[in-house]
Amino acid sequence: MRGTGRRAVALAGMGAAGALLLAGCLQNPSQGGAAGEGLAGFVDNAEADGDGVVTVLGAFGGQEADAFNASLADFEEESGIDVQYSSDQDFTNTIRQRTGAGQAPDVAIFPQPGGLLEQAEAGYVQPIDTYLDYDALDDTLVPGFLDAGRLNGRVYGAPMRMAVKSLVWYNQATYPAEGYSTEPADLDELAGIATQIRDSGTAPWCMGWNSDQATGWVGTDWIEEYMLRLWGPDVYDEWTSHEIPFDDERVIAAFDAFGELVLAEGNVAGGTQSVIATPFSEAILPAFADPPECFLERQGNFITGFMPEEVQADLDGSVGVFAFPPAVDGYEGQPILGGGDLAALMNGNDDDAIALMQFLTSPEFGGPWAQAGGWLSPHTTFDATQYPDDITRRTAEIVAEADVFRYDGSDLMPNAVGGGTFWTGMVEWLSGQKTAAQVTSDIEESWPAAEDGS
């Protein structure tokens, strides 16, 4: 029974992949090429093919790994495939070591697109158009999500989990009671609300950037939000891929726009000078003080895990959320900034691994993980009734209604920039040590030449 089920799924996956290859019906651009024009046929590894075992390497562990495995239980039962997941907190270095030693897993789940594209360029990842229905996948995903895994015209990974950053959180007991809008239409309206709050004697914004060695990453998110809203996804893509310089005048304009919010007297709880010293995990706490010391925080969906215990026990009754809105004269639509985990096939000859990838990247994956909390599907067609609370369903609805999704820009940039000079530059700018022009010029000079082919 087990073998029959496995073979049925494997044959279905092989037949689907073969039909797509032969018919050439996918719309993924540049199907005939690969990263650096170097891939011929299917990528392979040292694992046995067709043995009913699929090895998976990812970065998440603990309860998340338990929820991931629980989400695979029905698939394993029906297919007969044994999925063996390994967690490694040093995933980025481990995947490099394993591929370099010829010990790549069948499937790898990348927490950042940069690592995926590095492995794709080295020829270790199978393009998704050879085994997934690209158009069907693109139709159900949040618009623009697949672009995070694109290299030289082809896509090498598909999301199996989503994180959302373009969210504004507030205390249900205080913010609506003051009559402030819970659905501001644009940044001008949001700025008007902030002015009303400030004039009433309370800082409108809660904000904290401190994250030990990673201090400054919260600030990079703000610049990315403004880049998306002021200039749209095309310019955003040019910026994150270094097709335009980091010190482009449009980037400086994004700094200036954010500066109108964060540098204005009385706009941030504790004053601008407190932002760098305040841990990002504690920034929202003053919103729940009595009386509140601030009202709003722009932060990712993970922030609920840092809210007071009594708030977490009743999220639906305690917390509200809305999308960080678009700019009036900027991109015509609602963009969403976020992230996610991208699944990639590293054994294109294994029908079992293909079957797993088809399931992992489908709207059917993730029910038990969703019910456990802390997980969002990247598919707009995912059954939202499986989320444990209304606040999570509202978050998913915000993303589903978005016009475009873009991956966190610092995660798309070379690590020396996205996890280095961009972080430190934000601190230097906010503390007044350097101007936006100086900071962006410094970051531009730090961009590794090898990363963009210059």
pLDDT digit string, tens, across residues 397-410: 999 999 999 999 99
2-159+339-400 fold: D-Maltodextrin-Binding Protein; domain 2 (3.40.190)
CATH architecture entry for 167-336+409-451: 3-Layer(aba) Sandwich (3.40)
Query: What pLDDT, on the 0 to 100 scale, is given for residue 14?
Result: 34
Mean pLDDT, rounded, of the chain: 90
pLDDT digit string, tens, across residues 44-81: 898 889 999 999 999 999 999 999 999 999 999 999 99
Query: What pLDDT, on the 0 to 100 scale, is given for residue 235?
Result: 98
CATH 3.40.190.10 domain range(s) in the chain: 2-159+339-400, 167-336+409-451
Task: Provide mean pLDDT across the span 407-429.
Answer: 96
pLDDT digit string, tens, across residues 329-341: 999 999 999 999 9
Query: What pLDDT, on the 0 to 100 scale, is given for residue 8?
Result: 35
pLDDT at 30 over 80: no
Query: What pLDDT, on the 0 to 100 scale, is given for residue 324?
Result: 98
pTM for the model: 0.87
pLDDT at 184 over 60: yes
Task: Provide mean pLDDT across the span 99-128.
Answer: 95
pLDDT at 37 over 50: no
pLDDT digit string, tens, across residues 190-248: 999 999 999 999 999 999 999 999 999 999 999 999 999 999 999 999 999 999 999 99
Q: What secondary structure, in 3-state letters, does the chain show?
A: CHHHHHHHHHHHHHHHHHHHHHHCCCCCCCCCCCHHHCCCCCCCCCCCCCCCEEEEEECCCHHHHHHHHHHHHHHHHHHCCEEEEEECCCHHHHHHHHHHCCCCCCEEEECCHHHHHHHHHCCCCCCHHHCCCHHHHHHHECCCHHHHHEECCEECCEEEEEEECCEEEEECCCCHHHCCCCCCCCHHHHHHHHHHHHHCCCCCECCCCECHHHCCHHHHHHHHHHHHHHHHHHHHHHHHCCCCCCCCHHHHHHHHHHHHHHCCCCCECCCHHHCCCCEHHHCCHHHHCCCCCCCEEECCHHHHHHCCHHHHCCHHHHEEEEECCCCCCCCCCCEEEEEEEEEEECCCCCHHHHHHHHHHCCCCCCHHHHHHCCCCCCECCCCHHHCCCHHHHHHHHHHHCCCEEEECHHHHCCHHHHHHHHHHHHHHHHCCCCCHHHHHHHHHHHCCHHHCCC
pLDDT at 33 over 50: no
Q: Residue 450: which pLDDT band, with cuts at 50, 70 and 90?
A: low
